[in-house]
Structure 1
Amino acid sequence: MPRVHFSFRSPFSWIALTRLLRAVPDLDRHVELLPYFDPDERTAEALRARDADFHYQQMSKAKHLYILYDVRRQVSRHGLTMTWPVDVDPWWELPHLAWLRAVELGEGTRFYAGVTAARWERGENVCDPAVVRAIAEEAGLPGDELAAAPDDPRLREAGVDALVRAYEDDVFGVPYFRTGRQRFWGLDRVDDFIAELTGGPPVEVAPVPAAVAELVGAYDTDTAGGCG
């Protein structure tokens, strides 16, 4: 089944999934959605225990400043409105594990919409339990339960499972899409992924020459980060 790795942290993930949902409204029937988030120490330890890692690295200041401007362009291009949130010691397990519980309760789409609206339209701190509780209750979900999602060992394990899948898929940033052997990274590859989902013409990709593959990393001194 095609899969989409997304993150509440990334503005590009938000814009890309907005575009994707406009094209495929019943997206959750066609793809597997997997949350991707910076692990806290407990999650990182669980990843190490499974011989997995977190490929994403913090980007350089220059790249971060570029992205601040580029996001504004993309928001305008896609007809969205945005208020920049300010992240101070964010705890990304909270909204992502709460989303996993919302999916189990049959309201993953509504909770996702609530979190993205809170974060990107109103600039709220979605790593605050009070904010998550309010979003959950607005979606008709048990607020206290979702606000305490990181305390649930079962949801913790589900979050680790999602990050292990990302590690195995070689995810280094989001949004990241995969269907069969095809991989697409970033906002500017959404249309290619939509074509794959909706039966458009396939995107033919020639194999990378072995000599080039051996040099990967030799010429890029920046981090793997870049799409949040």
Structure 2
Amino acid sequence: MPHIDYFFATISPYTYLAGTRLEEIAAAHGATIAYKPLDIITLFDRTGGVRPAARHESRKDYRLQELRRQSVKARLKLNMQPKFWPTNPAPSSYAIISAARAGGGDLAGLVHGFTRACWAEERNIAEDEVVKDLLAAHGFDPKLADSGLLTSAETYAANLEEAVSRGAFGAPFYIVGDERFWGQDRLDDLDLYLAGKL
């Protein structure tokens, strides 16, 4: 059975634009998924990337064009400059880690719910009320937002270290064995790889 390690950031627009395609691909190939939220800004710093605010104007302009095009292709509403971005990704990431540990709810829906809240619904995913609401909406106990914070923080940090050690440098990033796929626009390649065609 193939296994996909999924490194992502809850404040990443490209993680949002991936929608639930990863889960559809995994289901088609009988693959398992390990959800690994991480600190994308620190990942950039550690792997030679440039923080969005520090990029050259030409790169900033291109990013906006690309986000617009990709949102149309994905048929997902996208606020190009959301009210609560950037925001602290740790609370939402901790909640996902706690939810994965607890089980019983829709983890994929929760991940997408956080990114949608940030990029399409003008909600601050760093706020406790928003985190608890999204946990409950996806079948998890909202009290998970207040429990196991130390363990979740340790896992969050470990996810970053694992991402760096395995060659990830952006989000979303999908790893199957030694094969790496960067970006939601490489999901078709992941699909082909799992089908044995790449």
TM-score normalised by the chain length of structure 2: 0.81
**Contact 1:9-1:37 within 8 A present in 2 as well:** no
Partner in structure 2 of residue 31 of structure 1: 33
Pairing 1:58–2:55 present: no
Question: Do the aligned partners of 2:13 and 2:115 also contact (CA within 8 Å) in 1?
Answer: no
User: In structure 1, what is the equivalent of residue 71 of structure 2?
Assistant: 75
Q: Is 2:117–2:125's contact at 8 Å kept on the other side of the alignment?
A: yes
Amino acid at match of 2:62: Y
The answer to whether the 8 Å contact 2:99/2:144 transfers is no
Residue 156 of structure 1 pairs with residue 148 of structure 2: no
RMSD: 2.7
Equivalent in 189, 192, 199 of residue 186 of structure 2: 189
User: Using a 3 Å threshold, how does the CA distance of structure 1 residues 155 and 132 change in structure 2: closer, same or farther?
Assistant: same
Letter in 1 for 2:66: D
Query: In proportion to residue count, which structure has more helix?
Result: 2
Q: Return the index of the structure with the highest Cα Rg.
A: 1
**Residue of structure 2 equivalent to 1:167:** 164
2:7 alignment partner in structure 1: 5
Deviations 1:122-142 (A, max 9, x none): 121111112111111222323
Alpha-carbon distance in 2 for matches of 1:18, 1:110: 8
Aligned mates of 2:29, 2:197 — CA distance in 1: 19
Indicate conservation of the 8 Å contact 1:6/1:35, yes or no.
Answer: yes
Distance 2:125 2:142 in 1: 13
Amino acid corresponding to residue 184 of structure 1 in structure 2: F
- The AA in structure 1 aligned to 2:22 is L
CA contact under 8 A between 1:54 and 1:163: conserved in structure 2?
no
**Residues of 2 paired with 1:54 and 1:158: CA distance?**
18
SS of 1:68's partner is helix
2:74 corresponds to which letter in structure 1? H
Return the letter of the residue paired with 1:58: R
C-alpha deviation, 1:73, in angstroms: 0.7
- 2:97 equivalent to 1:100: yes
**8 Å Cα contact 1:103-1:109 kept in structure 2:** no
Q: Greater shift after overlay, 104-113 or 168-177?
A: 104-113
1:33-81: CA deviation from partner (whole Å, max 9, x where unpaired): 2112247xxxx8xxxxxxxx83343040422232122111111112222
Q: Which moved more, 1:56-65 or 1:25-34?
A: 25-34
Task: Give the drift of 1:96.
Answer: 0.6
Contact 1:111 1:135 in 2 (8 A): yes
How many residue pairs match? The answer is 188
Following the alignment from structure 1 to structure 2, what is the Cα–Cα distance between the partners of residues 7 and 30?
A: 19
Amino acid at match of 1:5: F
- Measure the CA separation in 2 of the matches of 1:38 and 1:194: 24
TM-score between the two structures when normalised by the length of structure 1: 0.71
Cα gap change, 1:116 to 1:192, in 2 (>3 Å): same
